[in-house]
Structure 1
Amino acid sequence: MAYQQPRLDHDSAAFKAAAQAEQELLRAYDLEETEHWFTYEKENLRLRVSEIGTGAPVLVVPGNTGDMFPFIPLIAQMKENKFFLFNRPGGGLSDGMNHQKVDIRPFIIDLFDHLLDELHLDKVTIMAHSMGCHWTLWYAMARPERIEKLVLIGNPGRVMLGKTPLPLKLMVMPVVGEFAVKKMVPKDYDHALNGLKMMGTSEQAMNGLPKAFRECYYRFQNLPYYQESTLSLLRTFNANSTNEIEANELANLNFPVEMIWGVNDTFATVDKGKEIAAAFPNCQFQLIQNAGHMPWLDQPAQVGQLTSDFIA
């Protein structure tokens, strides 16, 4: 029998609480969302895309396991585009995902093909963050004809990383990984933003976020299968170096790229960011002062303006 990926119960209290928290966050930023649902038949995955705004289309590929809500403060700064925010499998309100049960690179390429076809996007600008950048770069390498421009925000996953950092090595170990991911899940609202602090987001920025933002982190990270999705993602990309993206691969991508990097990003140094940017033939590197791995949370107006100008 074929493996069935974890399926979220849309009628459960946990699902409804997460959905409500996200709607409250959208209202806090005066945004309206249209939901698109489709099924990726090869894995029987129910996937969600959140459409916000009007104008030229931009596909948004979130980081971590794929929750779209952290992008809401940035989208609120950008009024000129229609954003399709992809709730990646394992995140958002899409079904859960055991990433170790698929051949990950062919899976991602085929999934993106299906996604763009569902949205009737022949060629599109993609804005991605963190692990979402890694997924996007794999797709861009396979389908450069479907990419208009790329905006890559934060350290872009396992790109030119070299040796696996010790914390990631520990995550792939049996028992240790399970314990670490369990500790990452907030047990109450007071600790809901601890992950942001670890990624270099300032206390001032966190204190300025609406209450609904904290509610979203608490609700989404306590959804069923969040821990399984997170741990399997980390293990898939960090168990060995076979999924590393090398500089010579980036050198073949000729479309315009903008990299936005917070000076306090805790996943890699500024020098590493500049090294990655230099590997692209046509890349602008934007360094954001007083900002972490999600630089738009610290400097929303600046990141919004830089991104809007580049896309335009």
Structure 2
Amino acid sequence: MTRQPPGPESVEQRMVDAERELFAGLGADVDEFVIELGQTGRRVRVLAHGRGPAVLLLHGVSLSAAVWAPLFSEFPQFRLLAVDLPGHGLSDPMAFGRGQVREQAGRLIDDILDALGLDEVPVIGHSLGGMFAMWHVAAGSRRISALVAIGMPAVALAGVRVRMPLSLMTVPGLGSAFLRSPSPRPVFRRLLARGLGPAEVAAAPNALIEALRLSSRRRANARTVASLMHAIDRFRRPRAESVLTGTELAAIRIPTIFILGSDDPYLSVDGARHSIQRIPGATIHEMPAGHAPWLVDPHSAALLAADPLARRGSANPVD
């Protein structure tokens, strides 16, 4: 990744320091490395934990790979590969365009798997990451062998509403300025609670909250997230092309489970059920949480996710 070494007061260095505090507090031995993406020409950071068959973790919009840290020790039998998506964490930025975002997401996932040397892999996806994975499978790719969608998969399912603070990010110009504006820690916590849920923010380690706050402050990250939100959403509703059709849902023929919070702010579990029932064999597990259930109860979330991962684990582990 081409960037100047961060200075002692840089946002990047403070973010790295917060992540190190987070991993130390959780007792997680995390490897960090960078992969170069052939098609998209980006360099992205990977946080890896454990040994065994590989599992790819894709986070939600405006978050970073560090958000998965509470799950790391819950999967000792797998090599968890948590990726900073472009324009998140410490990865290179990327501009997403209206009418192009599905194709861009598909190339991105293929690029990541190629760079990691994985022919196929199970995926745990949160929000945006879950939507990207669903788009990829629905388009006919066989490189995702199983999918655990935790939290509503962004706007992939019919009935989702875009709400504050995400709706501000959909407005050109305003979105980037909003993300980069200095947010005192209490203000950021309140905004994050609106996006993820108050139980999630109350349960999350302080070092994780700080790492996410600093990640959102990076200028390139703010531009990427703003372009992405404008590409997939209108101010209050998703763009029609973001939502999977019934035919596309029926084309998802891999082991698929949804771990959804009973208080998810974007769509109720009952509201999601009609769409999910169109996916052959898909199952729904409900947890007392909001949009990021593993932050509230990582052990229970891991138990629910373990079975499809074990049955469809990657055949090519990454060391």
TM-score after normalising by structure 2: 0.85
Pick from 139, 144, 169 the counterpart of residue 142 of structure 1. Answer: 139
> Is the CA contact 1:188–1:218 (under 8 Å) kept in the aligned structure 2?
no
1:237 aligned onto 2:237? no
Which of 299, 303, 309 is the equivalent residue of 2:297? 299
Q: For residues 141 and 266 of structure 1, what CA distance do their matches in structure 2 show? A: 25
Query: Which amino acid in structure 1 is aligned with residue 141 of structure 2?
Result: P
SS of the aligned residue for 2:277 comes to helix
Matched, 1:218 2:200: no
The 4+ residue runs of structure 1 with deviation greater than 6 A are none
Match of 1:197 in 2: 193
1:27 correspondence with 2:24? yes
Evaluate the alpha carbon distance shift between residue 200 and residue 11 of structure 1 in structure 2; reply closer, same or farther with a 3 A threshold: closer
Q: Which residue type is aligned with residue 79 of structure 1? A: P
Q: How does 1:102-121 map to 2 (within 5 A)?
A: 103-121=100-118
Give the Cα–Cα distance (whole angstroms) in 2 for the partners of residues 17 and 169 of structure 1. 28
Cα distance in 2 for partners of 1:21, 1:163 equals 33
Do structure 1's residue 55 and structure 2's residue 52 form an aligned pair?
A: yes
Partner Cα distance (1:40, 1:11) in 2: 23
Counterpart secondary structure, 2:183: coil
Which residue in 1 is equivalent to 2:286? 287
Aligned to 1:3: none
> One-letter code of the match for 2:197?
T
Instruction: Tell me which of 296, 308, 319 is aligned to 1:310.
Output: 308
Partner of 2:128: 131
Alpha-carbon displacement from aligned partner over 1:14-73 (angstroms, at most 9, x marks no partner): 212212211221111111222231233544322112211112210001111451111111
- Structure with larger RCO (C-alpha < 8 A, sep 6+): 2
Instruction: Kindly report which structure 2 residues correspond to 1:6-21, keeping only aligned pairs within 5 A, or say none.
Output: 9-12=4-7, 13-21=10-18
Residue 148 of structure 2 contacts residue 258 of structure 2 at CA under 8 Å; is this kept in 1? Answer: yes
- Residue 261 of structure 2 corresponds to residue 262 of structure 1: yes
Measured in 1, the distance between the counterparts of 2:233 and 2:204 equals 32
Q: What is residue 122 of structure 1 aligned with on the other side?
A: 119
AA of the residue aligned to 1:141: A
1:156 is aligned, of 149, 153, 165, to 153
User: Is residue 32–residue 48 contact of structure 2 (8 Å, CA) maintained in 1?
Assistant: yes
Structure 2 gap ranges (5+): 311-319
8 Å Cα contact 1:8/1:95 also seen in 2: no
Distance 1:41 1:149, change over 3 A: closer
**Separation in structure 2 between the aligned mates of residue 72 and residue 108 of structure 1, nearest angstrom:** 24
Which stretch has the larger CA shift, 297-306 or 85-94?
297-306
CA RMSD of aligned residues (A): 2.6
Which amino acid counterpart does residue 283 of structure 1 have in structure 2? A
Alignment of 1:78-117 (within 5 A): 78-100=75-97, 103-117=100-114
**Residue 49 to residue 201, structure 1, CA distance change in 2 (3 Å):** same
